[in-house]
């Protein structure tokens, strides 16, 4: 079978001989991949001219719903992907990480897009900056989608997750993507892309695929494009130095393989919960995906006096992990992705043995269940021991990208921190300790060298997601050797594909541009109360100026009795000496309650319910005899997804400013209301 690339809306086969691809378990050829003859410039043009405009017309919420729909579609097709995933050497657990993990990441971004981003095509970021004395000239920041394409060059170890975790934030940002999977496992990526295209969920031009080499695609990148790379640091550095990337200042995000650590706390003796959890995690990270994970544990750091105990326990656990054909009952670890990778790992082990010794495993003499180790890409687990990790740099410089880890002892906390840092930048480190003081010292001492740090003890273990599991909510990346980039990280990851632009102007102008009310902007009063209007009828800037209310001593006394809040400043005038108050002060919560009484229309109408309060601040005390009034202004509107049996509705955010008789602002808040819509979405 010859794999095809998806180019400008068509499936295209390469014209050359291509690269043969093999089943990692049996060694039989299953496909040929090649991109010779593909017009890479045409791919970029198609993405920019067709996919980009279509995605940019959609709001964040529409893109998020698209991601949700796509994730649900892929979820229904999992059996198809699992079947082919076995050819990569993956066990069911390995395939679950790759396939379900990728789909789960799409669900995360779909959810966060609906909850944390506006129903707009752009993002208003942060608060306005007052840069003039009288507030007539302000600054603000907006994020808009880039008008280019994201080129995602992925590694071989996660042919599904590697694609899905990148296209989720890319599409949510409104940018089309070109996927270039590693050739050796590209047959699985091609299958998934075929299903995605056939679904019709994505607009034309949103997604394209290269099966084979990347050709001259990087020659044609511009300042509006983004290039991401996952794989070896050496390849990443080569791509990052491409003349077009440098000349056009193209955004380049690299996530490189790294020498991640896992550390056992000094108090975690054999028999303790943390000791057992540590042994289980190291064993799992050495054997899941046959150690072919950028987040796998490469350096095992333990108290020096516990080295023998840890080695002894790991030997027992590793011996129980059966290597072989994942289709055979009882097999817990499959082969590497290719025989070429086996040769690469063996060469790295040979280098490591110059400064280490073998604690467990035999690289040449091992058993394989249900397959022929002469033809399959099998590699046994290898536990190495470096007696002096401070003096020897081998374990901190050399990565064998397979089921290989090196154990090293530390004498004290400073030693432990130095060993962790010697990896020169890693994606992840983990600490297994019940001593929170020790954990804090390690985190503070190593955070600058790591993209993620996981601390596990008995209290968190049951729900821990694991050392080697990047999550869509959190950044995945790291400094130095790990590439210096970031992926995912929730909405942070979306912004990698957007341009942050500072805009300046009057409050009215910025309100018009941002579609979000900014204090000081012109407002619109109407004879119709804002709460009598349906969602569609309310406009940004619609304002109600209320009548006034004078605060009395009875108000304060009654509110104290109702609320149970007898704080001295409200109830005991004799205790005010030396305080910030001149006399008894009204409760802040009474002021906002009274404010609601001033601006709420009591009749049943389009406003369905109070949805919440944000950004509440009390800026001036209100005393007996002070008179307050309220300005209520529509700040922002967001349609809510229609659910079965639910009234069509949207969320309206109201900017509320409470002032006293002197014109001083005494309280501000954002009130959210659910408002009925006339029409369905």
8 Å CB contact between 324 and 371:
yes
Write down the architecture of domain 47-257+492-499 according to CATH.
Answer: 3-Layer(aba) Sandwich (3.40)
- What's the pLDDT at 647? 81
Q: How many Å apart are CA 551 and CA 625, to the nearest integer?
A: 5
360-379, pLDDT tens digit by residue?
999 888 998 988 888 988 99
CATH 3.40.309.10 domain position(s) in the chain: 260-469
Nearest CA among 340, 378, 374, 339 for reference residue 362? 378
pLDDT at 127 over 50: yes
Averaged pLDDT for residues 79-92? 91
- What's the pLDDT at 680? 55
- What's the pLDDT at 681? 44
8 Å CB contact between 540 and 511:
yes
Q: How many Å apart are CA 536 and CA 543, to the nearest integer?
A: 16
Averaged pLDDT for residues 615-628? 93
Q: How many Å apart are CA 94 and CA 334, to the nearest integer?
A: 9
8 Å CB contact between 652 and 634:
yes
Averaged pLDDT for residues 140-154? 95
- What's the pLDDT at 603? 85
Considering the chain, what percentage of its residues have pLDDT values greater than 90? 66
Q: How many Å apart are CA 2 and CA 13, to the nearest integer?
A: 7
293-329, pLDDT tens digit by residue?
889 999 999 999 999 999 999 999 999 999 999 989 8
- Alpha-carbon distance values, 285 to 196, 271, 291, 305 (Å): 31, 21, 6, 23
Averaged pLDDT for residues 499-523? 91
446-480, pLDDT tens digit by residue?
999 999 999 999 888 888 888 888 888 988 988 98
175-191, pLDDT tens digit by residue?
999 999 999 899 999 99
pLDDT tier, 7 (very low <50, low <70, confident <90, very high otherwise)? very high
Six-digit token string for 145 = 């989608």
Residue 650 has a CB neighbour count (10 Å cut-off) of 19
The pLDDT mean for the chain works out to 91
Averaged pLDDT for residues 572-580? 79
CATH 3.10.129.10 domain position(s) in the chain: 523-676
Q: Determine if residue 137 is left, alpha or beta; phi over 0 gives left, psi from -120 to 50 gives alpha, anything else beta.
A: beta
Q: What are the strands, taking DSSP E only, across 598-664? A: 607-618, 627-639, 649-659
Q: List the beta bridge partners of residue 231.
A: 256
Nearest CA among 307, 294, 334 for reference residue 86? 334
Instruction: Tell the CATH superfamily of the 523-676 domain.
Output: Hotdog Thioesterase (3.10.129.10)
Q: Which residues are catalytic?
A: 255, 294
Pick the CATH number of 260-469 from 3.40.50.300, 3.20.20.70, 3.30.420.130, 3.40.309.10: 3.40.309.10
- What's the pLDDT at 598? 93
CATH 3.40.605.10 domain position(s) in the chain: 47-257+492-499
192-218: string of b/e by CB count within 10 Å (b at 16+)? bbebbbeeebbbebbbbbbbbbbbebb
pLDDT at 552 over 80: yes
């Amino acid at each position: 079978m010859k794999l095809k690339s998806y180019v400008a809306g068509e499936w295209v086969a390469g014209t050359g001989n291509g690269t043969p691809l093999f089943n990692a378990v049996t060694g039989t050829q299953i496909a040929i991949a090649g991109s010779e003859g593909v017009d890479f410039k045409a791919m970029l043009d198609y993405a920019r001219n067709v996919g980009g405009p279509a995605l940019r017309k959609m709001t964040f919420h529409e893109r998020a719903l698209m991601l949700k729909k796509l994730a649900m579609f892929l979820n229904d097709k999992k059996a198809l992907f699992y079947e082919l995933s076995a050819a990569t050497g993956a066990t069911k657990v390995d395939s679950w990480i790759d396939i379900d993990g990728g789909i789960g990441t799409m669900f995360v971004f779909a959810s966060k897009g609906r909850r944390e981003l506006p129903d707009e095509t752009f993002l208003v970021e942060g608060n306005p900056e007052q840069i003039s004395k009288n507030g007539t000239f302000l600054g603000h920041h907006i994020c808009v989608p880039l008008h280019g394409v994201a080129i995602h060059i992925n590694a071989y170890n996660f042919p599904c997750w590697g694609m899905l975790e990148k296209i989720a934030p890319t599409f949510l940002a409104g940018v089309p993507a070109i996927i270039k999977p590693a050739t050796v496992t590209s047959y699985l990526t091609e299958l998934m892309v075929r299903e995605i295209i056939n679904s019709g969920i994505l607009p034309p031009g949103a997604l394209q695929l290269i099966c084979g080499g990347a050709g001259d695609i990087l020659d044609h990148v511009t300042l509006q494009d983004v290039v991401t790379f996952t794989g070896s640091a050496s390849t990443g550095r080569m791509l990052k130095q491409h003349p077009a990337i440098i000349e056009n200042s193209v955004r380049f995000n690299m996530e490189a393989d790294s020498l991640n650590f896992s550390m056992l706390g000094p108090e975690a003796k054999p028999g303790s919960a943390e000791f057992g959890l540590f042994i289980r995690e190291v064993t799992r990270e050495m054997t899941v995906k046959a150690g072919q994970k950028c987040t796998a544990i490469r350096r095992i750091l333990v108290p020096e006096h516990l080295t023998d105990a840890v080695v002894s326990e790991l030997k027992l656990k590793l011996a129980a992990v059966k290597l072989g054909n994942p289709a055979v009952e009882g097999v817990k670890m499959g082969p590497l992705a290719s025989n070429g990778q086996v040769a690469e790992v063996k060469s790295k082990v040979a280098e490591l043995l110059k400064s280490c010794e073998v604690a467990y495993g035999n690289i040449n003499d091992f058993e394989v269940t249900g397959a022929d180790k002469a033809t399959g890409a099998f590699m046994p687990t290898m536990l190495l021991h470096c007696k002096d990790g401070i003096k020897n740099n081998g374990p901190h410089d050399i990565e064998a990208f397979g089921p290989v880890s090196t154990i090293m002892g530390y004498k004290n906390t400073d030693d432990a921190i130095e060993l962790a840092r010697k990896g020169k930048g890693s994606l992840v480190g983990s600490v297994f300790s019940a001593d929170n003081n020790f954990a804090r010292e390690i985190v503070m001492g190593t955070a600058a060298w790591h993209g993620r740090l996981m601390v596990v003890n008995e209290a968190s273990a049951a729900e821990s997601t694991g050392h080697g599991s990047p999550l869509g909510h959190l950044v995945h990346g790291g400094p130095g050797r790990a590439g210096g980039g970031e992926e995912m990280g929730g909405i942070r990851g979306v912004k990698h594909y957007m341009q942050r632009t500072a805009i300046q102007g009057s409050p009215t102008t910025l309100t018009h541009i941002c579609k979000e009310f900014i204090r000081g902007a012109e407002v619109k009063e109407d004879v119709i109360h804002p709460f009598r209007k349906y969602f569609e009828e309310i406009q940004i800037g619609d304002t109600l100026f209320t009548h006034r209310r004078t605060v009395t001593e009875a108000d304060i006394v009654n509110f104290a009795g109702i609320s149970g809040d007898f704080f001295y400043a409200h109830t005991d005038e004799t205790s005010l000496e030396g305080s910030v108050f001149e006399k008894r002060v009204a409760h802040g919560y009474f002021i906002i309650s009274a404010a609601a009484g001033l601006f709420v229309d009591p009749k049943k109408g389009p406003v369905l319910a109070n949805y919440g309060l944000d950004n509440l601040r009390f800026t001036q005390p209100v005393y007996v005899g002070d008179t307050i009034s309220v300005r209520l202004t529509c700040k922002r509107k967001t349609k809510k997804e229609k659910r079965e049996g639910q009234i069509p509705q949207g969320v309206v955010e109201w900017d509320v400013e409470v002032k006293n008789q002197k014109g001083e602002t005494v309280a501000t808040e954002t009130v959210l209301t659910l408002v009925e819509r006339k029409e369905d979405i």
